[in-house]
Amino acid sequence: MAASDQAYMARALELARKGIYSTHPNPRVGCVIVRDGQVVGEGWHVRAGEPHAEVHALRQAGELARGATAYVTLEPCSHHGRTPPCADALVAAGVGRVVAAMQDPNPQVAGRGLKRLADAGIAVEGGVLEAEARALNAGFIKRMEQGLPFVRVKLAMSLDGRTAMASGESQWITGQAARSAVQRLRARASVVLTGADTVLTDAARLTVRADELGLDPELTALAISRPPLRVLVDGGLRVPLSAPFFQSGPALVATASDSSPDAYAGHELLALPGANGHVDLRKLLQELASRGVNEVLVEAGPRLAGAFAQAGLVDEYQIFIAAKFLGSSARPLLDWPLARMAEAQELTIVEMRAVGDDWRVIAIPRATP
Amino acid sequence: MAASDQAYMARALELARKGIYSTHPNPRVGCVIVRDGQVVGEGWHVRAGEPHAEVHALRQAGELARGATAYVTLEPCSHHGRTPPCADALVAAGVGRVVAAMQDPNPQVAGRGLKRLADAGIAVEGGVLEAEARALNAGFIKRMEQGLPFVRVKLAMSLDGRTAMASGESQWITGQAARSAVQRLRARASVVLTGADTVLTDAARLTVRADELGLDPELTALAISRPPLRVLVDGGLRVPLSAPFFQSGPALVATASDSSPDAYAGHELLALPGANGHVDLRKLLQELASRGVNEVLVEAGPRLAGAFAQAGLVDEYQIFIAAKFLGSSARPLLDWPLARMAEAQELTIVEMRAVGDDWRVIAIPRATP
């Protein structure tokens, strides 16, 4: 693998990232076409139903694509979806070589796109910057491989691990930069999921607000054009339809009761009874994945976030830490009673950095041995 | 101020830092003598009672000191202590210019050393890298200015802000690199202070161990040659003399009872009764400062650490964070019940970085408005 292969693939990943707020349920994909050391075409997938990255890049390259090398962050598709197969388009354009960062994660199609290219006499390589490519589409990959979305839990706490005073007083623990970062987490997610406690206590709406995203106009427009579905876990249907959450657009409500009303003022009701009168969270995630949901952002209080944690359903924690102590009578980060040190959830901290006056920790649960 | 002044002062500070484990009760001081753009002498203060930094540097420079510039990280002393005044030595050596990072923090002597130099016709400048120089001797400065030592509170917690399971199970939350960093915090302190809970529960000894410091042989030898005084806050004299803490060398015990035994098996007893049967922590710190203690490291459980926090006696928190969740029934970071958000202790986080598998946060309390 040449160093230049990595450089062009890095550029293709940069292009792919432009779709972070808009491609789902599709993956984010970028493509760069290079001929004689010159980039002659670039493209990225913008939105489902619109052309794939390869098509944009091939259009830009035109005749210069003949004999060129195409760098794609994901194996070109070989099936007819809403658009024709990209592998066919690459063959038709006469490219000489295709470098893919990773195979299609769908086990039933993985490798077919590359095989079609190879069968047409095109030199094919894979695995260039694969880890970066996989990270960009962790949700899409998990849905394809496991039938579950990637679950990111956002938490905001004081440095002593507290989320609110015992009274419930909690608003604005963190500052504007952190709130803007949370807005971007919402915008990239297919679903923003919360619980009745949060909606009742904080009058939370869980919407994406253009002026708080802190993005350039192009990305802001893309983010706003495809807002995440808002999902409320409300086993006992405690949240009234007059709540700001319901007034802010259509939502999906997961309830634990089979005898729920059919009509819910334009909102969808989903009965997923689990143990102890709670919603079955795993079934909810499976249902969301079956609807094409790649990434779920959980923004909930200690009880619901703790329930996801206890059920082993969390892929990533993003913890915003405010530089203050709220004291020992304040509310905990997660309702998750553990008795012995051996039961502790081990984590890998992958990032810890300043976000305005606050700090952000990104931590991944480690598998329990 | 020339850029080269800063560069030479940075070197003088680097030398001064070599004394971090050994100079107290004296400040850490470094000196560089420069003639015609060449460093002709370097020195640093090693231990109280031994020559000051300027003397070492002047000896190395010899006749080359005449007309040279001396960079010192602290105003040269003008009084006869255990060694003759350094201002006199600089005058006698015939240096042409003296650059000091900061004045002597003792309000009663500040400026006298520089004045003596100026009176002898030497060009004098101050304030070069003053912030760095002050940070290096924050404890000495606070003792001189306020009659109190600098109090650094070390805490170890899980990412969800817990220090131990409800059962008390707690050992080894953090890994070897963090423990080594704590050893260095102990070694640089004049006093390591703990409470009865920690000594009883963890069989803590609070000693400095050469093989865990992670320092080079020279600094290790210096650190071991001048171990910190171990201070136990034990209002009710609950810790038996058979505890490992008492078996590991002489200690000072602060108690709340005036009717304490005189003899305590070679350990010193200090009666400092405060409110509610507790030890008066402020009086204890004042007593320690009067004995020449610059830096106190508090390594205690949530109760005692919380008491220092509530009394506003903490200058710096060093929080070691283990990448795990201990859950919501585990013990809090600080016993510090606060009812309203307005009472929250605001902090400034000055550093957050990886230490082995753990993370370290350094946070400074902000003055309450």
Task: List b or e across A34-48, with b for residues whose CB sees 16 or more CB atoms inside 10 angstroms.
Answer: bbeeebbbbbbbbee
Q: Give the pLDDT band (50/70/90) at residue B81.
A: confident
Q: Give the lowest-confidence range in A316-330, B79-93, B219-233.
A: B79-93
Q: How close does chain A come to B135, measured CA to CA in Å?
A: 21
For residue A363, give the nearest of B159, B337, B340 by CB distance. Answer: B159
pLDDT tens string A261-316: 777 888 999 999 998 889 999 999 999 999 999 999 999 999 999 999 999 999 99
Residue B145 is among the residues annotated as catalytic for this protein: no
- DSSP assignment, residue A315? S
**Would you call A306 helix, strand, or coil by DSSP?**
helix
The answer to whether A232 and A239 have CB atoms below 8 angstroms apart is yes
Residues in A closer than 8 angstroms to B353, CB to CB, are 352
In the prediction, which pLDDT does B169 show? 79
In the prediction, which pLDDT does B4 show? 92
Q: Tell me the Cα Rg of chain A.
A: 22
Assigned token pair, A328: 């020992």
Query: Which amino acid, residue A59?
Result: R
Closest by CA to A142, choosing from A336, A294, A347, is A294
The per-residue DSSP string of A23-51 comes to -TTSPP-EEEEEETTEEEEEEE--STTSP
The Cα-based distances of B166 to A127, A172, A224, B299 in angstroms read 48, 30, 46, 19
Interchain contact, B325 vs A337, CB within 8 Å: no
pLDDT tens string B159-169: 999 988 888 77
In the prediction, which pLDDT does A368 show? 61
pLDDT tens string A156-175: 999 999 988 888 777 667 89
In the prediction, which pLDDT does B202 show? 85
Q: How many residues belong to chain B?
A: 369
The Cα-based distances of B71 to A342, B61, B122 in angstroms read 55, 13, 13
In the prediction, which pLDDT does B241 show? 94
Assigned token pair, A9: 């693939």
Q: How many residues belong to chain A?
A: 369
User: What is the torsion angle, in degrees rounded to the nearest 10, for the CA atoms of residue B219, residue B221, residue B225 and residue B227?
Assistant: 60
Q: Give the pLDDT band (50/70/90) at residue B263.
A: confident
Q: Distance between CA atoms of A255 and A234, rounded to whole angstroms?
A: 5
* Nearest-by-CA chain A residue for B346: A324
Residues in B closer than 8 angstroms to A170, CB to CB, are 341
Q: How close does chain B come to A111, measured CA to CA in Å?
A: 38
Assigned token pair, A130: 């694969």
In the prediction, which pLDDT does A171 show? 64
The secondary structure element, H or E, covering residue B192 is strand B191-195
Closest by CA to B139, choosing from B12, B16, B293, B286, is B293
At a CB cut-off of 8 Å and minimum separation 6, what does B72 contact?
B12, B29, B30, B31, B53, B54, B86, B98, B99, B100, B101
- DSSP assignment, residue B107? T
Q: How close does chain B come to A251, measured CA to CA in Å?
A: 31
For residue B340, give the nearest of A169, A323, A333 by CB distance. Answer: A169
The answer to whether B174 and A346 have CB atoms below 8 angstroms apart is no
Q: Residue B150 phi/psi, 5° resolution?
A: -75, 125
Residues in B closer than 8 angstroms to A344, CB to CB, are 158, 324-327
Assigned token pair, B247: 């078996």
At a CB cut-off of 8 Å and minimum separation 6, what does A265 contact?
A241, A246
A–B: how many Cβ contacts below 8 A?
A: 146
At a CB cut-off of 8 Å and minimum separation 6, what does B355 contact?
B177, B178, B181, B320
A105-112 average pLDDT score: 83
Assigned token pair, A263: 């009509």
B9-20 average pLDDT score: 97
**Would you call A323 helix, strand, or coil by DSSP?**
coil
In terms of average pLDDT, the best of A335-339, B151-155, B256-260 is B151-155
Name B44's bridge partners.
Answer: B30
Q: How close does chain A come to B46, measured CA to CA in Å?
A: 37
Interchain contact, B347 vs A335, CB within 8 Å: no
Look at residue A341 and tell me whether its pLDDT is greater than 90.
no
Q: Distance between CA atoms of B338 and B343, rounded to whole angstroms?
A: 6
Assigned token pair, B31: 């000196």
Q: Distance between CA atoms of A64 and A34, rounded to whole angstroms?
A: 9
> Which is catalytic among the residues B54, B75, B295, B299?
B54
pLDDT tens string B47-79: 988 999 999 999 999 999 999 999 999 999 888
pLDDT tens string A244-264: 999 999 999 999 987 767 778
Q: Residue B144 phi/psi, 5° resolution?
A: -70, -40
Interchain contact, A349 vs B166, CB within 8 Å: no
pLDDT tens string A114-123: 999 999 999 9
B227-245 average pLDDT score: 95
For residue A326, give the nearest of B158, B309, B338 by CB distance. Answer: B338
Percent of chain A with pLDDT over 70: 98
Residues in A closer than 8 angstroms to B345, CB to CB, are 324-325, 327
- DSSP assignment, residue B84? -
For residue A160, give the nearest of B332, B346, B348 by CB distance. Answer: B332
Chain centre to alpha carbon of residue B67: 36
Interchain contact, B161 vs A160, CB within 8 Å: yes
**Would you call B231 helix, strand, or coil by DSSP?**
strand
Record the pTM. Answer: 0.89
Quickly list H helices, chain B: 3-17, 53-61, 86-93, 112-119, 130-136, 138-146, 176-188, 196-202, 217-225, 244-247, 281-290, 302-310
Q: How close does chain A come to B156, measured CA to CA in Å?
A: 11
Neighbour-count burial of A292, counting CB atoms closer than 10 A to its CB (0-12 exposed, 13-18 middle, 19+ buried): middle
Look at residue A338 and tell me whether its pLDDT is greater than 90.
no
Q: Distance between CA atoms of B214 and B156, rounded to whole angstroms?
A: 19
In the prediction, which pLDDT does A343 show? 86
Interchain contact, A167 vs B352, CB within 8 Å: no
B303-311 average pLDDT score: 94
Residues in B closer than 8 angstroms to A166, CB to CB, are 339
Percent of chain B with pLDDT over 70: 98
Interchain contact, A309 vs B302, CB within 8 Å: no
Look at residue A220 and tell me whether its pLDDT is greater than 90.
yes
Residues in A closer than 8 angstroms to B324, CB to CB, are 344-347
Interchain contact, A330 vs B348, CB within 8 Å: no
Q: Distance between CA atoms of A72 and A128, rounded to whole angstroms?
A: 10
For residue B160, give the nearest of A165, A167, A334 by CB distance. Answer: A334
Neighbour-count burial of B119, counting CB atoms closer than 10 A to its CB (0-12 exposed, 13-18 middle, 19+ buried): exposed
Interchain contact, A347 vs B324, CB within 8 Å: yes
Q: Residue A99 phi/psi, 5° resolution?
A: -115, 120
For residue B340, give the nearest of A165, A333, A359 by CB distance. Answer: A165
Look at residue A193 and tell me whether its pLDDT is greater than 80.
yes
Q: Tell me the Cα Rg of chain B.
A: 22
Name B150's bridge partners.
Answer: B295
At a CB cut-off of 8 Å and minimum separation 6, what does A303 contact?
A195, A197, A335
Residues in A closer than 8 angstroms to B347, CB to CB, are 159, 323-325
Quickly list H helices, A23-175: 53-61, 86-93, 112-119, 130-136, 138-146
In the prediction, which pLDDT does A167 show? 84
pLDDT tens string B338-357: 888 888 899 999 999 999 99
In the prediction, which pLDDT does B117 show? 95
B281-306 average pLDDT score: 96
Plot region of A182 (φ>0 → left; ψ -120 to 50 → alpha; else → beta): alpha
At a CB cut-off of 8 Å and minimum separation 6, what does A156 contact?
A163, A173, A174, A178, A182, A319, A320, A321, A322
